[in-house]
Structure 1
Amino acid sequence: MHASETPKNALFTSDFTRNPYPVYEKLRQSDPVVKVMLPNGQTGWLISTYEDAAAVLKDPRFIKDMTKFVGQEHPSVFSKNMLFSDPPDHKRLRGLVQKGFTPQRIESMRDHIQEIADRLLDAVSGKDRLNLIDDYAFPLPIIVISEILGVPTEDQDKFRVWSNSIIEASNQKMGEDVTRHMNEFIAYLKEWFAKVREQPGDDMISELVIAENQGDRLTEEELYGVVTLMIIAGHETTVNLIGNGVLALLEYPEQRKLLQDRPELIQGAVEEMLRYNGPVEFSTSRWASEDLEFRGQLFQRGDLVIVALDAANRDPAQFEDPDLFDITRGKSPHLAFGKGIHLCLGAPLARLEGEIAVNTLLRRFPDFALEGEIGDLEWRPGMIVRGVKEIPLRLS
């Protein structure tokens, strides 16, 4: 095979964005640990098998805080959170928000999330069409996380614009729009925190601001970082879980019929949606903290390491018939929410929102159909999330 024919040359093309799985299959076979050029011009190691992915996600030699060894400030004001930190800072930052996302607290929200789902579908009940993303998959989780945090209802749409900019900047150069949106977001957060300091409520932002005022538990920069992470991670994962999950049901009508006939299978269905076409395609960046050998490759201190989560979740060494969508697959060790100390804190919330959103849609509009072809849908740019911009559905 000539260099121009290697699967890594097919990464990040428009064909790859639409369907990365054939490329991932070849990478797992020929280059499971390979150095690649990322869309932003950086080079880094890409990990594509399940076994290697799980190993990297748990290995403390691969760190999240790049400032530890390059001696520079965080590249973004939003980076000082548990996602980009290592022990002991990681434990301190995660501990501050963990109590807001316990399984018990999330389960107590079930009825309210159901009310939100029904309200959103009530709004389109007299219509022939539904844009699944704009009308349902986006507003449901943004309403939920905004209520948890204390974001005013009238400001929730702003967060979509800001979070999209921050995510799309993850693999692109900082354009004028991205810079402007980030500055708007920082100004908004500053004003919001100031109001909360004067008059705290019983929401999570108030708890975090009060914690900051009680000593060195949270710096102002950490407050920005933690809140930004919760706003973005608190809805982006769920938007694309719902969107990609519904696409899988459209692709596999027999699985859709099975779930409609047996809605009690929804938990296993959501786990399979997360595995089959997960909402987070690549892990956030890790860095080799020292010169080391990994799977026969020599990593140098400071090398960037990226895990292709969706590639690992289609690895036939771990999953039987991995390219088949099967909601009865059973307990799944997928990596859609990561692994190790950085396992997604909001996973219980995303799962519950996905379960309610999908089952409610199937119950309320059992005959919905896609307008057009799945292959014609436009996938979002960026290296972190995997999801389409719009899913137009006919409701009857």
Structure 2
Amino acid sequence: MPDGVEKKPPKASDDEAWKARTLEEAEQRTFELLDQVIVQYSTGDAITVSESGRVTNRGPRELAGLFGLYSGGNDSVVLTHMLRRYLADRPLFRHHFKGMVHVNTGIAIPQTTQHVREVAAMWSTRLLELQPKVSYLDLILGNVHSTRPPNEGRSVWRGFPGPGGNGQPHNVMYMRLKDQPLQALRKQYVGTEGARKKVLYVAGMRWDESDKRFRNAEEVGPKGGIVWVSALVHWTNAHMQEYRARWRCHKVHKHELHRMCFDDALPLNEVTANLHMSGDCTCGCYAKPNELDEIGFFYPEVAERIRRDQEAVRAAGIAAWKWGTPPPPDFNPQPAGPEEIVPAPACAKCVGPAVIQGSLEDDWFNAGLITAEQRDNLRTEHRHLEEAS
């Protein structure tokens, strides 16, 4: 069926890519967009214009690398699957592809990390697994300090980054745990020639994901030596659903690992099926009430690690010691002061409001996973735990 966003997104190009289209048309637009960007940044000369109007020829453009970002989430796997199909159809462009990129934040659900590794191996695709310079625990303990005046030496963050804070909690976590490794990879391939050489990071932002994505997502976003390409930006939720139904194995049989039961099958990460998120980051910035209990139901070792971190933060005398909850009103989590808000195209589904409403007990009950009596018992247990803490 034709499908599309209801009106033109603010940052959409003028080619009407946002308008209603079938899945086949959406796929064709993805191929065209990738063609356009690859040609643009691998041919001709790089011309820059200074603020004073001085024009400089930096020499022939060079595309230093094309990378597909893979978090392990539902949208991410569709993106990577599409990119793989695109490269199979474009032999002249394959040499630009340098591999799948996964940022191992250090706080992922282990099954997601393993999923990414195994899918890359089964596809015989090079995987670049990046690591941040700092750990999440050091961030929340206040052990990561600013290196710039006037706040040099002060902690960039303290306590758990709960919802709220005008986007600053997620901004800090994203910059230190995801953006820094991606910038390091950019530097490895581009060096100091960002005006002439570029790396293409193909990510999965879409206009139809949320109001925030509708306002801010763009098809192509040059940021210094990085060119962000949202290859599925025009895809709607219905397109994604139809694509998964078309390419995923739904036969009644014993599935192969990650449902990769036939050539070109679309992989499935069990974490996305259980938690409806990629699981590559459990920073808690957009956690729902009682989300820790949901994580613990499926992945008790992850919940136990988070609870150990809670005890470490509380032992350090930091008031914001509860994961996934806003800090106390009079608590300052940023001694070094607010940082510039940066886009987070590599952060899957981190698009929630300041405080996410809802109850996991109600979600489970409405989905038929628990009975009304079990729901009431869970509510009572959660209330007792809150009172005890």
Compute the TM-score of the two structures, normalised by the length of structure 2.
0.29
**Structure with greater helix percent:** 1
Higher relative contact order (CA 8 A, sep 6+): 1
Bigger radius of gyration among the two: 2
Q: Could you state the TM-score of these two structures normalised by the residue count of structure 1?
A: 0.29
